[in-house]
Amino acid sequence: MSEAAFTPRVFSGIQPSGNLHLGNYLGALKRFAEAQDRGVETLYCMVDLHAVTVWQEPADLRRATRELAAGFIASGLDPARSILFNQSQVAEHSQLAWVFNCVARMGWMQRMTQFKDKAGKNAQNASLGLFAYPALMAADILVYHGTHVPVGEDQKQHIELSRDIAAKFNHDYGVEFFPLPEPVIEGAATRVMSLRDGTRKMSKSDPSDMSRINLTDDAETIARKIRKAKTDPEPLPSEAEGLEDRPEARNLVNIYAALADMSVEQVMAEAGGQPFSVFKPRLADLAVDRLTPISIEMKRLMHDEAEIDRILADGAGRARAIAAPILRRTYDIMGMVSAPGG
Ligand code: TYM
């Protein structure tokens, strides 16, 4: 099977660890919906097995998984057109991850910046799962022969590692069985920054709630966070180059461009010369306009947990139907004996 023979299939995942924010929306969810609307086959996963690489209160995980499912749907993902499911319901992810634990090298994992960031100074105390995290990620994608992976900038290194794992498996066994998945990192907001510090990524784990816009924030909260966002005293430049040493200004312009489906150049042509006292209220109006329908829909969906659980179970069944034969073939390539007729 040559690489050209792989049919395009989009896979991506988000951790259900609470505080779904504007970075997740612009860097991932909005783009997931765009891929779906282009008519490619799309699978999107709530990666609960990844979430538990750091401690999660069981009740919080359960709630966050359902809330994330509601966030997917409210952002435009249609459970009939995309396969939406949570990772732990499809055992093939964990099974292929074990195989990839045996393919990936310790040195590759040690280079992962996310592991270094998350493990912090006390790496000896980090879970083994946190270290092996990228092998499970490779399994998530490759158990479906996923070819394209829409993600934010921070996941690029992990997708490159997935390519290395696929390439090593293919090389070691002399096959062209796994595609080398492409990271798809496009648009103005592949790295949304904190509203309090334009040099730090907007993140669910930032202790300051003012640093991020949560998808569950109401209109008034969104407007207040944008009004209070850190900026410099200069008006906006009229060319994108003028944003180079102005991280906070650049971040707000990128957010505007992504929310409005405009290029940064178009925003500069329209808003260049404006002081923040004019630009911020415009951005706040736009953000409220785009985000409040999502938060209202999420709240509505959260009232019917049984329906969310039904959607996830249906998605898991459809996901398993793709994953099971790929896992079986992987075992077979490796020389594992299967049950007769199995
Ligand atoms: P996670 O849950 O941290 O983030 C989910 C998605 O949101 C993007 N993102 C951002 N994009 C722009 N600006 C930001 N500030 C920002 N913060 C987060 C992330 O890049 C990501 O696309 N390891 C992954 C989940 C995962 C996965 C996968 C992704 C597990 N298996 C397989 C793709 C394919 C993660 O922790 O994302």
Residue nearest to atom 29 of ligand 1 (CA): 13
Residues 190-224 as b or e (16 or more Cβ within 10 Å = b): bbbbbbbbbeebbbeebeeeebbbbbbbebebbbe
Cα torsion 165, 167, 96, 30 to 10°: value is 80
Q: Is residue 161 domain-shared with residue 80, that is, in the same domain?
A: yes
Query: Which one from 118, 156, 168, 230 is the annotated catalytic residue?
Result: 118
In a domain, 221, yes or no: yes
In a domain, 196, yes or no: no
Q: What CATH number corresponds to the domain at position 123?
A: 3.40.50.620
User: Which sign, positive or negative, has the C-alpha torsion 238, 255, 137, 128?
Assistant: positive
Q: Which of 14, 140, 193 to mutate to test the pocket of ligand 1 (most atoms within 8 A of CB)?
A: 14
Q: Which atom of ligand 1 is nearest to the CA of 151?
A: 22
Distances (CA, A) of 47 to 12, 52, 81, 85, 88: 9, 9, 20, 9, 8
**How many structural domains is the chain composed of?**
2
Q: Is residue 26 domain-shared with residue 129, that is, in the same domain?
A: yes
What's the CA gap between 43 and 166, in Å, rounded? 19
Is 280 considered catalytic here?
no
In a domain, 110, yes or no: yes
Amino acid at 226: I
In a domain, 176, yes or no: yes
Q: Is residue 262 domain-shared with residue 313, that is, in the same domain?
A: no
What's the CA gap between 193 and 327, in Å, rounded? 38
**Gap from CA of 209 to ligand 1 centroid (Å):** 19
In a domain, 342, yes or no: no
Query: Which one from 156, 168, 204, 299 is the annotated catalytic residue?
Result: 204
Q: Is residue 133 domain-shared with residue 240, that is, in the same domain?
A: no
**Gap from CA of 151 to ligand 1 centroid (Å):** 6
Q: Is residue 219 domain-shared with residue 90, that is, in the same domain?
A: no
Is 156 considered catalytic here?
no
Q: Is residue 45 domain-shared with residue 126, that is, in the same domain?
A: yes
**Gap from CA of 19 to ligand 1 centroid (Å):** 13
Count of beta carbons in the 10 Å neighbourhood of residue 12:
25
pLDDT recorded at residue 1: 46
Closest CA to 71 of 112, 14, 116: 14
Q: Is residue 28 domain-shared with residue 60, that is, in the same domain?
A: yes
Q: Is residue 71 domain-shared with residue 155, that is, in the same domain?
A: yes
**Gap from CA of 266 to ligand 1 centroid (Å):** 27
pLDDT digit string (tens) for 200-256?
999 999 999 999 999 999 999 999 999 999 999 999 999 989 999 999 999 999 999
In a domain, 84, yes or no: yes
Distances (CA, A) of 177 to 40, 160, 326: 21, 17, 9
Q: Is residue 217 domain-shared with residue 84, that is, in the same domain?
A: no
Amino acid at 51: A
Range of the domain at 261: 209-296
In a domain, 201, yes or no: no
In a domain, 98, yes or no: yes
Which strand (E) or helix (H) includes residue 71?
helix 58-74
pLDDT recorded at residue 39: 92
**Side-chain half-sphere of 159: how many Cα atoms within 13 Å?**
23
pLDDT recorded at residue 80: 98
Residue nearest to atom 33 of ligand 1 (CA): 12
Ligand 1 neighbours, Cβ below 6 Å, are: 11-15, 23-24, 27-28, 47, 50, 137, 140-141, 149, 151-152, 154-155, 158, 189-192, 201-202
Task: Give, for all 342 residues of the chain, the pLDDT tens digit.
Answer: 444 579 999 999 999 999 899 999 999 999 999 999 999 999 999 999 999 999 999 999 999 999 999 999 999 999 999 999 999 999 999 999 999 999 999 999 999 999 999 998 889 999 999 999 999 999 999 999 999 999 999 999 999 999 999 999 999 999 999 999 999 999 999 999 999 999 999 999 999 999 999 999 999 999 999 999 999 999 999 998 999 999 999 999 999 999 999 999 999 999 999 999 999 999 999 999 999 999 999 999 999 999 999 999 999 999 999 999 999 999 999 999 998 876
Q: Is residue 50 domain-shared with residue 170, that is, in the same domain?
A: yes
Q: What CATH number corresponds to the domain at position 270?
A: 1.10.240.10
Q: Which atom of ligand 1 is nearest to the CA of 136?
A: 31
Is 30 considered catalytic here?
no
**Its pTM surpasses 0.95:** yes
Q: Is residue 156 domain-shared with residue 134, that is, in the same domain?
A: yes
Q: Is residue 266 domain-shared with residue 318, that is, in the same domain?
A: no
Axis-axis angle for helices 276-302, 58-74 (nearest 10): 110
pLDDT recorded at residue 3: 46
**Gap from CA of 233 to ligand 1 centroid (Å):** 33
pLDDT recorded at residue 342: 65
Closest CA to 303 of 84, 66, 85, 72: 66
